Amino acid sequence: MCGCESQEACPRYVVPFEAAPAQLSGLRRAVRSQLGCWGASAVAEEAELVATELGANVIKHVGRDVAASLVLELRDGRVRLEVHDRSRVMPASSAEVCAENDECGRGLHLIAAMACDWGSARTATGKVVWCELSLKPAGHEERVGRAAAVLSAYCQPSSTSGLDPAALDETVTDVITDLLHWLSVQGGDPEGALGRAQMHYEAEAA
């Protein structure tokens, strides 16, 4: 399912795949394995999430069983993930232009919240959607900023700054619940992830 092109200046890993739900677990394994080879396991969980979301978007918006490819690159202290497909229809750049319950819109907001940068572009054969993750550990301010970006997708059209504490608490609970449901569907361990998140928070907030 995969092939590797490694260059000293910019290691590159290419994973051709067919857009089908059964292929997503293979994408996650390929991402985790290759990042481990590059010594970039610190961002493996985020990269797996990005690869899954981008692959799922191809299935949903381009079609099942179409040819696509995932590209990983390691450069300038970042991991770059690209998904190439043969459709020239560009993804919505904001949840504001998506339907209120559009999972794709929220998925892209989650990607944008985790990423240093992300975007899309037309190519000679279709399009590419890409995302870059920093290899540096996220600090407190960065985590707060990412959380605010995610919450904004759940609070459209209102702003999180205008929510009272009770409403904000309910929104955060909704976000966490949605993520745990998503992780369970992907075959992950929601209780374990929640416990690790709590430990990370306590260690970083101390």
142-167 confidence digits (pLDDT tens)? 666 666 766 676 665 455 555 677 87
Cα separation, 167 vs 3, in Å, equals 48
The residues with which 78 forms a beta bridge, in sequence order, are 75, 134
Overall pTM > 0.85: no
Structural domains in the chain plus CATH codes:
3-134 (3.30.565.10), 140-205 (no CATH)
Find which of 24-33, 177-186, 190-199 is predicted with most confidence, using mean pLDDT: 24-33
pLDDT at 198 over 60: yes
Of 99, 73, 56, give the one whose Cα is nearest residue 13: 73
Q: Which two tokens stand for residue 136?
A: 């540096």
pLDDT at 126: 96
Whether 1 and 17 have beta carbons less than 8 Å apart is answered as: yes
Q: Which two tokens stand for residue 46?
A: 């985020």
Cα separation, 111 vs 91, in Å, equals 13
Q: Which two tokens stand for residue 86?
A: 């043969």
